[in-house]
Amino acid sequence: MRRYDRIMGRKWLMAAAGVLVLAGAVFLYRKSHAPPPKTAPPPPVIVALPAEIIIAGKIEATKIVKVPVPVDGVIEQLVADVDDDVVVGDVLARINNPKIAAAQQKSEEVAGHARNRAAELETALIGAELEASRSEADATRAKLEFERAEKTYEREKMLMSEGITPRLVYEKAQQEYNTLKAQTQDLSEAAKKAAERLASLKAELESARKAEEQRANDMEHSQSTMDAGEVRSPAEGVVLARHGQQGDRVTRTIKDFFQIAVNLTALQLVVTPQPQELQRIHAGQTAAIEIVDTPGLTPGKVREIRAGQVFIDFASPSLSVRPGMNAQVKIKVL
């Protein structure tokens, strides 16, 4: 019995040892395959954003006038250059159109002929007036002499019929009467023709003067068309850009032959900030603009944001500030 108890005790001891070994193996397996311990996340880092954004940009005009090509042709002369100051009526360029030039030359020739014809008729009219006046005076004098000779002839004729006057005296009176009668008729006809020629010249001169006026109007119109080849400034400002070079062909389809910045007292600064900066900018924010070679800061205000660009309006502090100049802006974002 004791032997049996000893045997059973050994078996139980071996079983217990096996269980302990198995438990230890399981413990070691779980420990070697256990996930790493979770570490606590670090506290968030708070980055302080600056109170203002500083960006460089370029000054632009807020209002630009585009000057089109007035006539088709070839650029004969470029008078105004970029950055030139211009006023209303200044010639910016000249465009030559061969057809217009030929028409102008023809119009001038026709107008010249009309002027010459009118001048010739005026000279002829002066001579005709003198001739008509002289012929009229001669006819009047001849008529008076004829009337006296006629009275003398009638008296001598009566005396001759009564046998009182010598026949020689009668014949002399008769001859003088006939001579003066013929002269009076000739001078009267000459005066009539001189008057008719004077009237004709007056009518012709009037017609010539009307033709001269018409040709002058045609020439003026032609000159206006010629002048249309002169590109003139419609406003006061500064030339921002121009297209083409001397000798280039241009057409009226070009609507921005010249670009003129006007009202240079009101300008804008255009800047392109980084995306993270753009998120902090909005219309209405105040700004301080630092312009190259201009002392002090110029106040401005953000007008709008478009296509990633910021437009800042400001009043120009000096006439020396021009579109195209560089500047730097500080925008308060708090």
The structure tokens listed for 5 are 């108890």
User: What is residue 51's predicted lDDT score, i.e. its pLDDT?
Assistant: 80
pLDDT in tens, the chain (334 residues): 555 556 555 665 566 666 565 666 655 666 565 566 666 666 665 555 678 899 999 999 999 999 999 989 999 999 999 999 999 999 999 999 877 666 667 777 777 888 898 898 889 889 889 989 998 999 899 899 989 989 998 998 888 888 888 888 888 988 999 999 999 999 999 999 989 998 998 898 898 888 888 878 766 665 555 455 899 999 999 999 999 999 999 999 999 999 999 999 999 999 999 999 999 999 999 999 999 888 889 999 999 999 999 999 999 999 889 999 999 999 988 6
Contacts of residues 324-327 at CB distance under 8 Å and 24 or more positions apart, as own/partner, are: 324/58, 324/59, 324/60, 324/83, 324/240, 325/58, 325/59, 325/291, 325/292, 326/56, 326/57, 326/58, 326/59, 326/292, 327/56, 327/57, 327/58, 327/59, 327/269, 327/289, 327/290, 327/291, 327/292
Query: Is the separation of the CB atoms in 265 and 319 below 8 Å?
Result: no
Report the distance separating Cα 299 and Cα 295, nearest Å: 13
| Count of residues in the chain | 334
Shortest CA distance to 238 belongs to which of 65, 77, 59?
A: 65
Q: Got the DSSP string for 264-329? A: TTEEEEEE---HHHHTT--TT-EEEEEETT--S-EEEEEEEEETTEEEEEEE-S-TT--TT-EEEE
User: What is residue 77's predicted lDDT score, i.e. its pLDDT?
Assistant: 93
| Residue 268: C-alpha distances to residues 61, 84, 237 (Å) | 6, 20, 16
pTM of the model: 0.52
Query: Is the separation of the CB atoms in 327 and 284 below 8 Å?
Result: no
User: What is residue 36's predicted lDDT score, i.e. its pLDDT?
Assistant: 61
